[in-house]
């Protein structure tokens, strides 16, 4: 494995056509000179956890955007959603006495949010199950208020 961020140091400007053979020769020469630094390839489990964390992060960002949009639409009409957890946001919105047209405007977003909440719960369970086998994540979880997602995310940034 080669670190692609380090490769430009080995490129010579005399070669006009890039080929695999020339790339292999340049890498071999750099290795012989001891100029090329090694890179670390993560284990399959670590790559799997990182992928899960990226998917979860995308879901959280999407839900946050929907919450902000719904709040803005309701605020334009003079309604305020009480504060609370993101998971319970649709329930808090349904607790407001909204007129029919406004409710029909935000109904598609609330429907998607219910699905997002289910997907996030599944992602959290999966991350907890996968990360339960990592000793470093278990060690990080001994810190008060650090759960499986935070510990796995911290481990991801460390390796």
> Both 17 and 61 in a single domain?
no
> Both 60 and 109 in a single domain?
yes
Long-range contacts of 98-103 (CB under 8 A, 24+ apart): 98/74, 102/73, 102/74, 102/77
**Average pLDDT of adjacent 10-residue blocks, the chain of 159 residues:** 55 63 76 70 75 90 96 94 93 93 94 94 87 76 78 63
- Which residues face 38 on adjacent strands? 2
> Both 153 and 128 in a single domain?
yes
Tally of domains in the chain: 2
Looking at residue 128, its pLDDT comes to: 83
Kindly report the backbone phi and psi dihedral angles of residue 154, in degrees, each rounded to the nearest multiple of 5, phi listed first. -65, -40
Report the C-alpha dihedral over residues 15, 16, 21, 22, rounded to 10 degrees. 20
- pTM, 2 dp: 0.67
> Both 93 and 142 in a single domain?
yes
The packing angle between helices 100-131 and 44-76, to 10°, is: 160
Question: What is the domain extent for residue 31?
Answer: 1-41
> Both 20 and 95 in a single domain?
no
Looking at residue 138, its pLDDT comes to: 77
Looking at residue 101, its pLDDT comes to: 93
How many whole angstroms separate alpha carbon 41 and alpha carbon 1?
Answer: 7
In the chain, what is the straight-line distance between the N-terminal and C-terminal CA atoms, in Å?
Answer: 16
> Both 80 and 106 in a single domain?
yes
């Amino acid at each position: 494995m080669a670190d692609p961020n380090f490769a430009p140091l080995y490129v010579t400007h005399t070669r006009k056509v890039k080929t695999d053979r020339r790339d292999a020769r340049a890498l071999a020469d750099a290795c012989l000179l001891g100029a090329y630094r090694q890179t670390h390839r993560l284990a399959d489990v670590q790559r799997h956890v990182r992928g899960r964390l990226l998917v979860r992060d995308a879901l959280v960002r999407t839900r946050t955007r929907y919450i902000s949009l719904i709040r803005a639409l309701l605020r334009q009409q003079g309604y305020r959603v009480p504060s609370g957890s993101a998971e319970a946001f649709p329930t808090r919105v349904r607790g407001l006495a909204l007129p029919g047209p406004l409710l029909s405007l935000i109904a598609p977003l609330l429907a998607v949010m219910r699905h997002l909440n289910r997907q996030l719960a599944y992602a959290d369970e999966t991350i907890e199950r996968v990360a339960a086998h990592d000793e470093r994540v278990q060690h990080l979880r001994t810190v008060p208020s650090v759960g499986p997602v935070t510990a796995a995310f911290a481990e991801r940034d460390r390796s």
